[in-house]
Amino acid sequence: MKSVLLIGLGRFGRHMAQKLRDLGHEVLAVDKDEERINAALSYVTNAQIGDSTNAQFIGSLGVRNFDLCVVAIGDSFQSSLETTALLKEYGAPFVLSRATRDVHAKFLLRNGADDVIYPEKQTASWAAVRYSSDHVFDYIKLTPDHSIYETAVPESWVGRTVVQLAVRQKYRINILAIKRSGTLEPLPGPNHTFQSDETLLILGDDRDIQRFLHV
């Protein structure tokens, strides 16, 4: 269990706070809007009304005692930037800040954020990959060049085994797991026979995966 300071209870902050609660973490939520604070009391450990750009207020929170500080302010970049800088100044071990533009992300990283989340860009990238192909069901970006995809078993693979297809040698991808009827089979062996109702979780270079998807 981690202790999380979450600043900003707009849509993004609210959803993140609820998920952190579901995962069993302790969340102190901060917002300057009393209505948002009152609404959050049912799904956070504690909540405070306050101005996160005020140094005295940030100092009163004991930010160095939180495992994670999240700046989820989306309606004012200036407030987000000032809050990020103050958190780091007062000793926050790890600051995750929300960005709404590429240039904002750069400034946040320069001014104290340890990492930046850009929900609109990340969701747009995921949706573009997911819905531009008939055979991709999920997608996780790991590095600029490598990703994990969940994709359908190619029709030509049905009834054949991993070793018969020489998957790694021919396609330069790694099969991490097979999914069938909601059940995951990690690291299928060389004699696994592919079925039409299975999906594959594959890892590889994006260029190799794109070539595989267009086989």
Instruction: Please tell me the predicted confidence (pLDDT) of residue 134.
Output: 83
Which domains, from first to last, does the chain contain? Answer: 3-117 (3.40.50.720), 122-213 (3.30.70.1450)
Is residue 137 scored above 70 in pLDDT?
A: yes
Q: Are strands 174-180 and 199-205 parallel, antiparallel or unpaired?
A: antiparallel
Environment class of 151 (CB within 10 Å of its CB; exposed 0-12, middle 13-18, buried 19+)? buried
CA distance from start to end of the chain: 45
How does pLDDT run across 65-103, given as a tens digit for each residue? 999 999 999 889 999 999 999 999 999 999 999 999 999
pTM: 0.79
Instruction: Please tell me the predicted confidence (pLDDT) of residue 215.
Output: 65
Q: Is 168 left (phi over 0), alpha (psi -120 to 50) or beta?
A: alpha
How does pLDDT run across 140-194, given as a tens digit for each residue? 999 989 999 999 999 999 999 999 999 999 999 999 999 999 899 999 999 999 9
